Amino acid sequence: MRPFLFITLVLFFSLLLHGAEEKRQYLVLGTIRELHPESREMIIKHEAIPGYMDAMVMPFTVKEDRWFKEVRPGDEVRFSLEVTPKEDHISKFEVLRRGQPQQPDTKTKVAKIKVGSTLSLAGIPMKEQDGRDFDVSSLAGRSVVLSFFFTRCPSPEMCPLLVAKLGALQKALKAHTDEGAPAVTLLCITIDPLNDTPKVLKSYSKACQADPKLWRFLTGSLPDIRSLASRCGADFWEDGGLINHTLRTLVIDPNGKVRRLYTDNRWTSEDLFESIVIREKR
Ligand SMILES: [Cu+2]
């Protein structure tokens, strides 16, 4: 009887400890951006969660209906995030300050860039696929191929084709390395930042076999990306739950001057390769 009791107790405490180890809870501060009771999600701009996640805008699962009635967009809140290896969800909201609902993004009137214009990415806070803050100084002295895309794009002729061509360009650039690596960075900026978190971008970049030294994926806040895209002449809009968009691919020289601007997907990786490498040789 005694050994049996002992084993039972050991099992009980190890389960207790194990359970405690696998379930983590965080208190998080944030601002509610959007409520989606139908999919039991809230989009929240949250502060950094030490030991777990950087500050970002992202969707969270909310299991209980009641919270959708207690908070509204614009509210500054404190909430509890529970994480287990299988799932995570948030609850126990406390409204710290009632906010005004955010106005839907309005189209910013900005001067559109064209070939010969200067384009700087300085001052636009963005995150890379590895979760790091995008550092614009890492582009110093480099040509940049910049394009807008999103990972869920369902149209084979749009983002998937764009990304395939950038893949071919990366290959050509790498093959060229023997003759001196061209100083160029390919940047893909998502137009769907609510879905395309750094984590999503990371697995996407892996699937593209992107070499992070050469080809990087960026996300940021929707208003920032909308304003940058709009300056580049790239439009995107929601249509029945899907994102529609126009295409823009730019080649920017190391001085920040736009050298090429493509408004469709008809360019070839050879075109871009020449525009970068031949110019470099001059
Ligand atoms: Cu697309």
pLDDT tens per residue, range 213-245: 999 999 999 999 999 999 998 888 887 778 889
Give the pLDDT band (50/70/90) at residue 260.
very high
Comparing CA positions, the residue from 106, 148, 158, 156 lying closest to residue 249 is: 148
* All residues with CB under 5 Å from ion ligand 1: 153, 158-159
Instruction: Please report, for the chain, the start and end positions of each structural domain, with discontinuous segments joined by +.
Output: 24-97, 126-281
Comparing CA positions, the residue from 114, 120, 124, 126 lying closest to residue 248 is: 114
* Assigned fold of 126-281: Glutaredoxin (3.40.30)
Give the pLDDT band (50/70/90) at residue 113.
confident
Assign domain 24-97 one CATH number from 1.10.150.20, 3.40.50.1110, 1.10.340.30, 2.40.50.320.
2.40.50.320
Q: How far apart are CA 78 and CA 11, in angstroms?
A: 36
Q: How far is the CA of 159 from the centre of ligand 1 (A)?
A: 4
- Conformational region of residue 39, where left means phi above 0, alpha means psi within -120 to 50, and beta covers everything else: alpha
Mean pLDDT of 4-23: 55
pLDDT tens profile 44-84: 889 999 888 888 777 889 999 999 989 988 899 999 999 98
CA dihedral over 133, 120, 246, 105, signed as positive or negative? positive
- Which helix (H) or strand (E) segment holds residue 166: the answer is helix 159-175
Q: How far is the CA of 129 from the centre of ligand 1 (A)?
A: 18
Q: How far is the CA of 154 from the centre of ligand 1 (A)?
A: 7
Q: How far is the CA of 163 from the centre of ligand 1 (A)?
A: 10
- Which helix (H) or strand (E) segment holds residue 10: the answer is helix 2-22
